[in-house]
Structure 1
Amino acid sequence: MTTIKKQDAKAYVDQVIDQVKEKNQSQPEFYQAVQEVAKSLIPLFEQSPHYMDYAILERMVEPDRLISFRVAWTDDDGKIHVNRGYRVQFNNAIGPYKGGLRFDPSVNESVVKFLGFDQIFKNALTDQAIGGGKGGADFDPKGKSDMEIMRFTQSFMNELSKYIGPNVDVPAGDIGVGGREIDYMVGQYKRLRGAFEKGAFTGKGIEVGGSLMRTESTGYGAVYFAEEMLKDEQDKLEGKRIIVSGAGKVSLYAMEKAVDLGAVVVACSDSSGYIYKEEGLDVKTIKQVKEQERKPISAYLDHDQDATYNEEDRMWNLSCDLAFPCATQNELDEDDAKALVQNGVIAVIEGANMPCTEKAITYFQKHTIKFGPGKAANAGGVAVSALEMAQNSSRVYWSFEEIDNMLQEIMASIYEKSATAAKEFDLEGDFIAGANIAAFRKVADVMVAQGII
């Protein structure tokens, strides 16, 4: 087998990273995502330089296409608003593009591209036949009425419908996009196409052809991944004190599953602040506040006078065994990492996409803290999306228990693939490198087989 020197592989990777930075200026999130993946692939390129000869990395960092479009809509007072919509179709080597839609003011080209690029690897790790894509709009759904949400999603779909389909690109939900928004899109897509293509979206309502457990899957999957990490240390979740950022479906269901497995949730947060209770928070009440009452996390105190609310300090300063950043990108920085390590954290599991900064990750690794990267740990959502696609295609309907069992098997497989790849390259315990290498190799081999396209 032909091999090359490490410095040659590093020089190649540095060259690609420099090209990405030059071509994608003012896109820090995308550059950060590419840099993290590319650097971890150096050992693979040393051993298998043919991936360099086929320019796989150069081809993979350039999306197949990036679509940007105007979304005009009217509010309840008849005022016209204009937002920008996006869809990036990054790589379909192993299957149709697959990835969520995010409605949030922070959405821009850089954010969509970083999410779509990471989705290539996340989807490959699930062993499902799905490629990488992502999309969304700089629309803020907070405070909007149901009719305003409907009018916006219909306008959004008027353009996006031209580029998606069950065998082309299958969107799902993400931040700001839940079952309600997806169902509105399904309705408009059906109206525009004049046909009911059930598999064109995932994350649908059950009555519209959705799958049981899709809502819970990302949060549950992150906890199942954490469980596998602890098993390797002959440890378990029972009795562990955890803190979780974010108050969306990922964090809510990560907390729910963690409690089911015997852990104690001592703190959780939303964009306004965090709640804390040493003896443990009641997750059912948190879900009631966020999902039914749709109130800030501080409203939890209306139900539990023993808990405290803090909007001044960082939640990561609290003592815990496991931390689950489940809110948004780059929410946990190096200072937060230092505080967590000082206060005894043993593992950090990313429920969100790229929630930890590069310096934070480096600090965790330096102090041998177990780290579950988002592309591996939060892949449960897209895994169950693929299972929803399978049910739609075959016109079957699986029970919650069946899907939960499949999800546990998928998350255990993702952990095993990541751990094995890391060990193969003498990087044992580095799940970032392991996940990236395992996923890249799967997609790269198919790209080589398909030729230069």
Structure 2
Amino acid sequence: MNVDAQISEYYDRLLKRNAGEPEFHQAVSEVLDSLKIVLEKDPHYADYSLVERLCEPERQLIFRVPWTDDKGEVNVNRGFRVQFNSALGPYKGGLRFHPSVNLGIIKFLGFEQIFKNSLTGLPIGGGKGGSDFDPKGRTDAEVMRFCQSFMTELHRHIGEYRDVPAGDIGVGGREIGYLFGQYRRLANQHESGVLTGKGLSWGGSLVRTEATGYGLVYLTEEMMNTHEESFDGAKVIVSGSGNVAIYAAEKAQQLGATVVAMSDSAGYISTPNGVDVELVKQIKEVGRGRISEYVDQAEGTYHEGGNIWEVKADVALPCATQNELNGDHAKQLAENGVRYVAEGANMPSTPEAVHYFQENGIHFAPGKAANAGGVATSALEMQQNATRDSWSFEYTDQRLHQIMSNIFKNVDRTAREYNREGDYVAGANIAGFKKVADAMLAQGVI
């Protein structure tokens, strides 16, 4: 049986075994498409059902999370932790609290995390977790009670040498604090390496807050430099206005760019003279408000329910959520002069959008490479916790910058090695896969 037929047969089986999980199907399909050329060149990677084992989580946890709101009413949410692959090290990946969370979403994120973590070059495996709980509109006391209930179950399955969660959408410093406090109570020890994204006074790392956004810009700058361009003087669209988007905008403007648009789920602001990042931080991080409030205090125009991809720019950084940028949006970006797209969110571009970018000469960096800065700095936090050390902002930022530079060079080199020059999707998938696959083969069928 040829490679195409092998992959097709396996993917059909995966669809049947994982029905109703479209995001997971999409993530696996993209990787399998890239692996065809690997299996043709290096057929030993098909031995011992390696690809099938790679696509099957080592462990999937689903649990009930009961908690009491401020009215005294009991609510019940569902919690998840998918421990996908530990061939390279302990499971590492964030927790997402959002109403959209289900098993398929967590599996897609955990699967992507395997390759992302592999690309960092650090000894961490892939996992992901979360809940369909929505922290928006909840009081601090309600969020605390939910987090305590969530951790009461999760604590049995995590540890600094087993599984190290972090934050993601809906899980910031407040939630990590409550989660860690409950873990410490249940474990009866201050095991600081069990969670990352902690407060600076109790085991956290400088740069962790900024890491995903900064890292996204560092890798994009490397990609632009390859084509003798840079952020200096560039116009940039940043979708979203959460943590990743805010710090991507901040770093882009530090490098001389003008961020001309940012968004949230209700609409977007256009800021032709550059966005006031400190004001966005005040609105979104401190006040937990909407991006529409920006135009009440600074120069800009708010577009309710608008399409941020219609803004003219040189660089687009989708930093909101999965599948936010479709094929029609990709055409709009191309027509408006965008030459570089790098994903700050996980899989924000649909397959149609990615295909359009690749077919029309737009340089595209996938999320598993471009947004790896967050987990890379989480791993640096783990190193500091293990040695009871604390590094300076400058040193940690330097380490982050070097990791992102190395990721791009590895992705670029791998794409060339497999005759896919400029195809950073294939380069990221193959480079991430080979490191994990070599470890799995060396460790036997487990």
Cα deviations by residue, 1:316-355 (Å, 9 ceiling, x for unpaired): 0111100010010001111111110111100111000000
Cross-structure match for 2:73: 79
In 1: Cα distance, 2:305 partner to 2:398 partner:
41
**Is 1:389 matched up with 2:382?**
yes
In 1: Cα distance, 2:306 partner to 2:296 partner:
21
Q: Give the gaps of 5 or more residues in structure 1.
A: 1-6
In 1: Cα distance, 2:173 partner to 2:11 partner:
37
* SS at 2:241 equivalent: coil
* SS at 1:54 equivalent: helix
* SS at 2:2 equivalent: helix
Cross-structure match for 1:106: 100
Question: Post-superposition shift, 1:375?
Answer: 0.2
**Is 1:435 matched up with 2:428?**
yes
Question: 1:285-434 alignment to 2 at 5 Å?
Answer: 285-304=279-298, 306-434=299-427
Question: Post-superposition shift, 1:231?
Answer: 0.6
Contact kept, 8 Å, 2:266 with 2:305, in 1: the verdict is no
In 1: Cα distance, 2:431 partner to 2:49 partner:
18
Cross-structure match for 2:277: 283
* SS at 2:219 equivalent: helix
Question: Post-superposition shift, 1:183?
Answer: 1.0
Cα deviations by residue, 1:45-101 (Å, 9 ceiling, x for unpaired): 011111102221100000001000000001111111000000000000010000000
Contact kept, 8 Å, 2:331 with 2:356, in 1: the verdict is yes
- Match of residue 151, structure 1, among 123, 145, 148: 145
Question: Post-superposition shift, 1:283?
Answer: 1.4
Cα pair distance change 1:312/1:181, threshold 3 Å: closer
Question: Post-superposition shift, 1:247?
Answer: 1.0
Moved more, 197-206 or 9-18: 9-18
**Residue 79 of structure 2 aligns to which amino acid in structure 1?**
G
Question: Post-superposition shift, 1:294?
Answer: 1.8
- Match of residue 224, structure 1, among 206, 211, 218: 218
* SS at 2:137 equivalent: coil
Question: 1:27-46 alignment to 2 at 5 Å?
Answer: 27-46=21-40
**Is 1:449 matched up with 2:411?**
no
Cross-structure match for 1:16: 10
Contact kept, 8 Å, 2:283 with 2:294, in 1: the verdict is yes
Question: Post-superposition shift, 1:312?
Answer: 3.2
Contact kept, 8 Å, 1:333 with 1:360, in 2: the verdict is yes
TM-score, with structure 2 as normaliser = 0.99
Moved more, 48-57 or 210-219: 48-57
Question: Post-superposition shift, 1:434?
Answer: 0.2
User: What is the aligned length?
Assistant: 446
In 2: Cα distance, 1:437 partner to 1:407 partner:
22
Cross-structure match for 1:4: none
Question: Post-superposition shift, 1:208?
Answer: 1.6
**Residue 258 of structure 1 aligns to which amino acid in structure 2?**
A
Question: Post-superposition shift, 1:40?
Answer: 0.5
In 2: Cα distance, 1:332 partner to 1:95 partner:
33
In 2: Cα distance, 1:54 partner to 1:356 partner:
33
Question: 1:151-190 alignment to 2 at 5 Å?
Answer: 151-190=145-184
In 1: Cα distance, 2:47 partner to 2:385 partner:
40
* SS at 1:274 equivalent: strand
Q: Give the gaps of 5 or more residues in structure 2.
A: none
* SS at 1:55 equivalent: helix
- Match of residue 117, structure 1, among 107, 111, 118: 111
Question: Post-superposition shift, 1:235?
Answer: 1.0
Contact kept, 8 Å, 1:183 with 1:208, in 2: the verdict is no
Query: What is the root-mean-square deviation of aligned Cα atoms in Å?
Result: 0.8
- Match of residue 130, structure 1, among 114, 117, 124: 124
**Residue 393 of structure 2 aligns to which amino acid in structure 1?**
F
**Residue 145 of structure 1 aligns to which amino acid in structure 2?**
T
Question: Post-superposition shift, 1:277?
Answer: 2.0
Runs of 4+ in 1 over 6 A off after TM superposition: none
In 2: Cα distance, 1:102 partner to 1:275 partner:
26
Cross-structure match for 1:3: none
Question: Post-superposition shift, 1:175?
Answer: 0.1
**Residue 320 of structure 1 aligns to which amino acid in structure 2?**
A
In 1: Cα distance, 2:411 partner to 2:197 partner:
27
In 1: Cα distance, 2:368 partner to 2:133 partner:
25
TM-score, with structure 1 as normaliser = 0.98
In 1: Cα distance, 2:23 partner to 2:407 partner:
25
Cross-structure match for 1:69: 63
In 2: Cα distance, 1:312 partner to 1:383 partner:
34
Cα deviations by residue, 1:178-227 (Å, 9 ceiling, x for unpaired): 11101111110011111111100001111120100100000000000100
Contact kept, 8 Å, 2:213 with 2:373, in 1: the verdict is yes
* SS at 1:41 equivalent: helix
Question: Post-superposition shift, 1:14?
Answer: 1.3
In 1: Cα distance, 2:33 partner to 2:10 partner:
10
* SS at 1:58 equivalent: helix
In 2: Cα distance, 1:312 partner to 1:77 partner:
34
In 1: Cα distance, 2:248 partner to 2:431 partner:
25
* SS at 2:236 equivalent: strand
Contact kept, 8 Å, 1:172 with 1:202, in 2: the verdict is yes
In 2: Cα distance, 1:36 partner to 1:53 partner:
21
**Residue 39 of structure 1 aligns to which amino acid in structure 2?**
D
